[in-house]
Amino acid sequence: MTLIYRHQTRRRLAQVCRICCVCSLALLSLLFTEFAASPTHAQQRSDRRGSTVTVRSGETLFDAAMRANVSAEELATVNGLTVQSPVRKGQRLLLPSASVATPEQTTGEIIGKKIVFSDGGTIDVDDVWKQGDSVWYRLNGTSQSTSRSIKSIQNRYKIKPAPVQTAAVVKPAPAPLATWIYLVDGARLRVDEVREVADGAWYNRGHVTIFLGRERIARIEKEQPAEPTGERKQTDWSSGNVTIDQLIRTNASRVGVDPYLVFLVIEQESRFHTRALSPKGAQGLMQLMPGTARRLGVLRPFDPGQNIRGGTQYLKELLTMFNGRVDLALASYNAGEGRVLDYGNRVPPFKETREYVKRISSRYHSNTTKQGPARDAVSGGPQ
């Protein structure tokens, strides 16, 4: 009996050992599979090699992120820091893997910066920098700050022209003839299509249809084919915003100023950004200084209607003061009428002011003279 019991006990122990061996082999196989699938520390170090930014003297984490074209939040998260964490000179910060630029993004001539906001919006600017706790950028000579949360700042590169095709040259089809609506204030508007009705006319520009009252229309003309010996330049201006275009025309007509001149001033001052704010405190589309805005009754300078009304009124006052001289009015708008008077009714010798006057005047006069005798900038006054 004892022999039988010992034999059964040995059989049970053997079965248990076989089960344990099978489980152990399965567990070792699973661990080996996971280990083989995961990257080794050496591989991780190899992937990260070169994807760092070194902190320079006086820089904050935000400054380093801006220089590396990544967001401060991403840079802080990858390195286990916060945006406010102090960093030291020479400290190497690991960059987010998604921020490593491809060769196509780091070649060519740098022509500016692209700001990518956290809300998904972007803006192309000439330069960007941090001043205190604010981020400033410069666009076409105008500097202003932004309060929007920034995700990243990227370089913009000059696009290389595509290779010239030497195959057969296809002559482009002639552009369709335009229809012009001439307004009673002397301005004119190019439209795609116009339909006259008893009390006015409906016209189309792109996908927008707008109505003009009969009292505002001087005449409607279809453009004639150009003569073979010459070309005629067309003046077709638009801010890209129908409301702003209408405010320019309405206020210019009210005070007797060429709306195209008002359009050029706004384009130069703010690039049609209603919330534009200069380092000197000028506000809105026409960059009114607070004192000038109060004098003109502009209580909300960032409101497009009030800002354009006040700015157009101020431009009319300057044109009247200098007998319709567009160059002196523009110089006064930029530097102040007191400076123009101090220099004997001449454009002051300031580089910024002279470039401002030259840039707007050249566009204004070239577009008006190409269409015949130039219109006076102020009704009835000499140019």
For the annotated catalytic residues, the residue numbers are 269
Of 271, 292, 263, 272, the closest CA to residue 280 belongs to: 292
* Residues 239 and 267: beta-carbon distance below 8 Å: yes
DSSP per-residue string spanning 138-191: EETTEEEEE-SPEEEEEEEEPPPPPPPP-SPPPPPPPPPPPEEEEETTS-EEEE
293 CB contacts (<8 Å, ≥6 apart)? Answer: 283, 301, 307, 310
Name the strand (E) or helix (H) holding 201: strand 200-205
Name the token pair of 4: 């039988």
Q: What is the largest CA-CA distance in the chain?
A: 134
Show the tokens assigned to 157.
């590169």
Closest CA to 184 of 253, 126, 239: 253
d(CA 96, CA 71): 9
Comparing CA positions, the residue from 298, 279, 10 lying closest to residue 144 is: 279
CA atoms of 304 and 247, how far apart (whole Å): 8
Cα-flanking dihedrals φ and ψ of residue 269, to 5°?
Answer: -75, -45
Neighbour tally for 195: CB within 10 Å: 10
> Which own/partner pairs from 13-18 qualify as long-range (CB within 8 Å, at least 24 positions apart)?
none
In angstroms, the CA 33 to CA 265 distance is 69
Alpha-carbon dihedral angle through residues 192, 195, 200, 202, given to the nearest 10 degrees = -50
- Between CA 131 and CA 200 the distance in angstroms is 53
Please name the residue that has the structure tokens 């060519």. 108
